[in-house]
Chain A
């Protein structure tokens, strides 16, 4: 079993302008999809994303910056905590039929 320090980590935050949950991608940009998040698999990588998070906070691009632990699955990274899974996937309820219908229509 992996120890806590070797668990894969990703950097997450909320975008300043609209508060939408975002993750730091491999290209250094913030993405709204956890699947595109950069996976920090060792201490140096974790230190790098922490530094990137502090920089983005200082640059007023994001707020509420956190490093979270994920499990690497075939479907992509899966956060250990339910809270973080809900941040990634959205509310677990059919919360806005009009809105979601509009989205699927557009897609």
Chain B
């Protein structure tokens, strides 16, 4: 993985020292809250309902065990013993004292981490496929390009005061695990007919109150042109993006209002001035960054094949876990393991300090010291020998980390909602917990199959409800919580925005409503092979609406 050079160390240390001074001056009253707020936000510090919240960047979701141990240490020392992994592959602490945050940032800097650009109207943490560097279906590791974008965008003077926040995601496979079509810029690393690397470039995707899927503006941008072309996009957005209305300030609105053809033409015109300049990526620089992401040397471990079969036969729980949470690696003797942070009835994305330490220890022992955070709020060990799966499973089980539900109905994305968030209108976590408990039986989950439920506690859509197969949006109506359901959303390569079913449901009704939807699917599916989203796309919303609202119609 990437290691800080002298410049990086000096840059982050200087930033910590600068923020320490700002915090000290704030605490002594030398600077007002109005002056301080933008400064703290630039360092990932929010004020939530109960306390401050610190959002720490995990660039493209990649961590090693030393970093994970530090995250555990911070949770234990400065917070209440846990952290919350987010849909931007970051981690949030919910209870840090403002007076402690400079010390926390100093500790993070020791392990080459920081909280810069995890908030504010700048280019946020660049996300990537959580299986990057291990997946069999990728053309190359997308993370070196995410790292190049990270270096280029860090405190970029031209792009630190954009009309609104800006999110970039990179994937390198046809199967999109990074949700690139819901990003301001989505990049798909690919090869052309000559075998050269380049990018399909998508712009103008986003969720929030106006969900829009991105439009493709380039089918193949040579890799050397990455920064010049992204700069051209940023310049056009920075110039024309609306600053009069924060709800219309994202690039998606600019693309929508201007039209993708005209905007592409403007980007191309801007790019003509840039493409042969200093932003052109030299081959040597690309190679130098790529060298940091050299895959671990994976020794042949063919013995795992036979062992795995025997273990699966003797332990159905292990077999279920392998079936759901273990995916093929590009090395046939290895696998990619998803560590579910969705225990049945638990809080999506939360991990205790003890669990973080356990993951760090297991990554060292079994996974070549690599850990990933997924945008679906789980963790991944990307390089595990098949021969090590059984001992790994036993160890995960002991720490409550072996829930076999990746991609199932209980693998729910949920934002912090009104339990923590100052913007929220309704709670998300208790809704996720009740659904998880209702469907927690392993046989029932397996019967239902792949189904993504995503829950947001307000229209800002941090819980990605627009792209949930079943999306749930909490709103406040007459002082009470109400939950709207949308169906048919998807954040993958066949991206779609879910459609609202109709009137919302009260907290005590929402789990029953989800069950009605699931039962309708089970009754309507053409076979057990047809997934929920496939079934929905075939039969449409009407059977689900009829099931949800028929009793109401009869009563009326």
Contacts and interface: CB of A to CB of B under 8 A. Distances in A.
Partners in one complex: yes
Contacts of A60: 26-29, 32-33
B47 A19 contact: yes
A72 B94 CA distance: 30
Contacts of B429: 91, 93
A21 B424 CA distance: 17
B430 to A, nearest CB: 6
B233 interface: no
Contacts of A97: 352
Given A19-B51, A87-B50, A95 B419 contact: yes
B430 A98 contact: no
B480 interface: yes
A92 B480 CA distance: 15
A68 interface: no
Contacts of B544: none
Contact of B433 (A17, A82, A93): A93
A62 to B, nearest CB: 9
Nearest to A81: B479
Interface string B2-40: 000000000000000000000000111100110000000
Contacts of A26: none
B301 interface: no
A98 B353 contact: yes
A25 B389 CA distance: 57
B99 interface: yes
Contacts, number: 87
A64 interface: yes
B51 A98 contact: no
A98 B49 contact: no
B125 to A, nearest CB: 23
Given A82-B418, A83-B49, A98 B354 contact: yes
A82 B47 contact: no
Interface of B: 26-29, 32-33, 47-52, 80-82, 94, 97-99, 347, 350, 352-354, 418-420, 424, 427, 429-430, 433, 476, 479-481
A19 B479 contact: no
Contacts of B476: 82
Interface string A83-100: 100110011110111110
Interface in A61-76: 63-64
Interface in A32-61: 57, 59-60
Given A16-B98, A20-B51, A98-B81, A92 B419 contact: yes
B480 A82 contact: yes
Nearest to A18: B97
A90 B94 CA distance: 12
A86 B481 CA distance: 13
A12 to B, nearest CB: 11
B98 A18 contact: yes
Given A16-B26, A95-B350, A96-B82, 20 more contacts: A17-B97, A19-B50, A20-B51, A21-B51, A57-B33, A59-B29, A60-B26, A60-B27, A60-B29, A63-B33, A81-B479, A86-B49, A87-B49, A90-B50, A93-B430, A95-B82, A95-B347, A95-B419, A97-B352, A99-B82
Interface residues of A, number: 28
A56 B232 CA distance: 47
A8 interface: no
Contacts of A96: 80-82, 352
B430 A92 contact: yes
Contact of A21 (B27, B33, B50, B418): B50
Contact of A93 (B26, B52, B347): B347
A68 to B, nearest CB: 12
Contacts of B80: 95-96, 98-99
A80 to B, nearest CB: 7
Contacts of B354: 98
Contact of A19 (B29, B98, B353, B433): B98
A32 to B, nearest CB: 10
8 contacts: A19-B51, A19-B98, A59-B29, A63-B33, A83-B49, A96-B352, A98-B352, A102-B81
A57 to B, nearest CB: 7
Given A18-B97, A18-B98, A92-B430, A83 B418 contact: yes
B98 A17 contact: yes
Contacts of A80: 479
Contacts of B480: 82
A80 B479 CA distance: 8
Contact of A82 (B51, B82, B481): B481
A31 interface: no
Contact of B51 (A18, A92, A102): A18
B75 to A, nearest CB: 9
Contacts of B50: 19-21, 87, 90-91
Contacts of B352: 96-98
A50 to B, nearest CB: 17
A64 B481 CA distance: 24
Contacts of A82: 418, 476, 479-481
